[in-house]
Structure 1
Amino acid sequence: MPKIKTNRSAAKRFTVTGSGKFKRRKKNLRHILTKKASKRKRQLGKATLVDSTNEKAVRRLMPYCC
């Protein structure tokens, strides 16, 4: 069997934590920032975990990560 290729776009977007979960960036912090509150922008800058419903799909894109 040939090796499975890692999806390069997924590899750039997600990192694996020590416990095997996936860390990701939040959306909505690229442009149109003037109408967004400072609190909202500050919270969008923090990373978060991939939801459990999407974890299987991300794991399939990155077969050798964990």
Structure 2
Amino acid sequence: MFLASLRPLATWARAFSTTSVLEAGYKLKSHSGAKKRWRSSPGLQSFKRGRAGRAHLNTSKAPARLNRLGNTAYSTPAQTHKLRKVLLPYGSG
């Protein structure tokens, strides 16, 4: 009974690859958490972010550690590839 209600596989359309955004009826959203943490460098070659752990409770941390936490962190090539998909779901254009 369940199998009779299914349509043949040939008639199923994949909305994400065969139709436009307006025809599909939904839009992909960029990742809100990544938007708050990462900034793009010129040309989208990499992304940069601040390091966590420097806001409070700093008296027990070594000065070298605090200096390191104050530096900017840059994305690796693998992170850059993933961040482009997460932050720009439709590409950079």
SS of the residue aligned with 1:34?
A: coil
Tell me how far 1:33 sits from its aligned partner. 2.2
Counterpart of 1:8 in structure 2 is: 32
- Moved beyond 6 Å, runs of 4+: none
SS of the residue aligned with 1:57?
A: helix
CA distance in 1, matches of 2:91, 2:42: 11
Unaligned residue ranges in structure 1 (runs of 5+) = none
SS of the residue aligned with 1:4?
A: coil
Residue in structure 2 matching 1:23, options 48, 69, 74: 48
Quick one: higher RCO (CA 8 Å, sep 6+), 1 or 2? 1
Residue 40 (structure 1) aligned with residue 65 (structure 2):
yes
Q: TM-score, normalised by structure 2?
A: 0.57
Q: Which has the higher helix share?
A: 2
Offset from partner CA, 1:9-52 (integer Å, 9 cap, x none): 11111000114210011233244422211121122112120122
Unaligned residue ranges in structure 2 (runs of 5+) = 1-19, 22-26
RMSD of aligned C-alpha atoms?
A: 2.1
CA distance in 2, matches of 1:22, 1:41: 22
